[in-house]
Amino acid sequence: MHVRQESVLKWGLYCNGLYIFFLFLFMPDGINIPNILITSILIFSVVLIFSVCFKNRYRIKNLPKKIRILFYLLIFWGCMIIVRSFSLSIQDWVTNFGNIYMAFAWLLPVTLILGLEIRNWNILFKTISMMFSLMILAFFLLPFFKYNEEWILLLRPVAFILLIGVYHFRNLFRFKTYLIIVLYLAAMFLLSSRRIDQLFLVMVFFFLLLDKISSIRLKKSFLKYIFVGFILVLTFIFTAGYEYFSNFVSLLIDFQDSRTFLFTELFADMSTFEQFFGRGSLGTYYSDFFERTRRYYEIMGRVGWAGDVPDRITTEVGYLQMVLKGGFVLLILNLLLYSYAIYAAIFKSNNKFIKRLGYYILIVTILSIVEFRPTFTPMFIVLWMAIGTVLNKNYRQMNDHEIETLIKFK
């Protein structure tokens, strides 16, 4: 990759982090000059990142033919999802292309191309370091701004760094990582009680401990059970229903179910055709739960929790978001690529870096059952770059020393 392309990619990733930073501080809503300026940072980020992907599209030839076909189908379907929401309304354009959950989220698989050049991880690590600096600054700005959950979006990459291994990085980066861990825990436990992020960290440490098992055969057996178990659970949820799964789990452990109504309401509001092909990037669904919540909020004189609007444009569950926007077609295409990448990384690689990328893909894949809707954010850029890297057979065949000569951890 030329120096100019490296610079373009770096600033594209930096702008993505800056956009989320301003999103957290100002929560832009509506059409005005400040909000347009903030949204333009996101669009600038997309243009820069996608331009690098386009210039390196020839790298797709390094992938097996069946993977290339899946990749092209996924990009084509992502374009169809966006086209289906074409509108002449300015507000619709702002919502569709100025929102990390809408149009750009379904083109994000393009960033798989970035992962096909392993040296791009050097740029991503620099970007994560920059984001950590922003969030440390944000901590001191909290007294002057209203806290919101968008803060989590720039904190989550710390889980990825922990999975890769903090010891790889230089002292300054390590210090910032430890500070971010403290802020991440504060955001989870003190400010928003983010159970999904607690589970995210627990799973990261679980896989790190699993990786310490000396017996390779035992380790692979554990991982096979986890992988096959996930496939069976996902199949059961989308055939028998999430409610049955929730009831079964509740017999084993005591937990608070907050997802069954999301599955029930979404599928009740969609026809069979829509369930297979989705409603487009601006597609919405009706939620009776939030209709009642909003009505109660009004009756109580706008006191307490208002909840969301009844006509919801997103849903918290990652896989449900896929079904809403692109149907089971989108869900299946994603799962096929996820599964192939997980298998190749964990069972067909010779180095720790690729295996750790496989763990990251597996964790995000599992947790998308309960949350992690796709967004044009660093967390999902990491996901698709990881998929691109692990699908490259040449990188999987390298040993640890060969990998470390290509990646300069910062």
Task: Read off the pLDDT of residues 266-324 as tens digits, 9 standing for 90 and up.
Answer: 999 999 999 999 999 999 999 888 888 888 767 777 766 667 788 999 998 999 999 99
Average of per-residue pLDDT across 160-167:
91
Q: How would residue 95 be classed by pLDDT, with cut points 50, 70 and 90?
A: confident
Beta pairing partners, 311: 286
Token duo for residue 37: 């300026």
Average of per-residue pLDDT across 113-118:
96
Q: How would residue 254 be classed by pLDDT, with cut points 50, 70 and 90?
A: low
> Does 2 have pLDDT greater than 50?
no
Q: What pLDDT was estimated at residue 237?
A: 81
Q: What is the pTM of this model?
A: 0.92
- Condensed to tens digits (0 to 9), the pLDDT of residues 216-228 reads 777 778 888 888 8
> Does 189 have pLDDT greater than 80?
no
Indicate the average pLDDT of the chain: 87
